[in-house]
Chains A and B, each alone.
Chain A
């Protein structure tokens, strides 16, 4: 974990309210692993008080740059979207436990902005298939060739939720299934998968975070054995079996 002044290389709008930001932060880019996140200071002044967590969307070790994909949902993300080339932001990271990248075949299932971290994951994986869902075509933040798509309005791919794409793959053919999206979507995907593959299923969670580095206890998510895990330090990537899916909604941001 380091805290550095990253220089903004580019900010561009890539969809409705969706932005891509490129930061020059060589040390952080070198250290980051897929699934890890950064705590970004949205403003140098004291408010907003807390930093904002964002998954690393891609990291270029050689070029020293990091990319984030984010949707503007409030003051912090709004401030980030208004940055321009040459500005600097403080970046704490990389933080958390990422995806346990392995050589076998992976299935990536993303919903909405939940796919933000998948470009980085996919770049470090061997063979993999991708299922993506969103409200409409424009809200698909990432559409790699070969991905199966579902949109609620039918403007891209199959009309419906991402779970309807699960019929088109063989869940038993993967070493790992990685799921990231809104809590309700992850719960539906985990529930729709045959019990036999639960053990190989991973999810990346979001929760409200104050510190992001494990000390405040603010990001508690319900654990399957009772009690809580820290989303920031024990996750954000968890084995689906580590979590209590009946209580998971409590922790949704």
Chain B
């Protein structure tokens, strides 16, 4: 079976800015895929290209094997990208009626999706009178009209209060449990950790890592507190290479498999160094995320506050 989402070297340039850079993305049927990246990383731009709203500068997109612009490209794909947008003078259900016509979906779906997002009680009120949370839920309802096999959600919890966030996450979990493929973009590690099977991390337009949540947390490190510290650092460098050793907070961080702990301990003791503490540490997902997306010090000035710029572009 063809994968719900496949991109090949997908690229979008705005003038000299490369918003999305040769992105190879693959989302498999039935999984909840987290598309994780800081503000301005290129998540929304990627999703817009998937949906055919903007044209790639180069590269390819296929949803269930169908490229944008072909009939049926979005036949069973629902989406909510960069916030909900509806006609302010129409009620929630009239908005959905119009969208259902465009989707060539029977009006019977409307009551169903309103119920799914828990908006039935306010469906007859004008969209303009909705709170942000209700607008967001109507956006999800519109995404569900086609009874989609793939749902694309772009930071769906943005701007919601804690209860709204919890509702939205429950909805994503339910979609996943029902066998729907979900592509969820987010800048929140906790959200992705909580909801997703697999994660792709995007930073400055590039996919810098792709794995399961557990793998991404990944690299384990050794933490050593010893005396004298300088001598300990020297011994460790001789043993595992200078790159893998860093001095921090009165101790050493060794980027090495924890299985080598006895060997390192023995070497330190042989060198007459007192080892006070030797622990295996798991990197938090948060740390992994920062490491992956932190601006590369070698590359010239990192774009400051890209996120802010993005917000302004779409106000």
A binds B: no
Chain A residues proximal to chain B, CB less than 8 Å:
none
Chain B residues proximal to chain A, CB less than 8 Å:
none
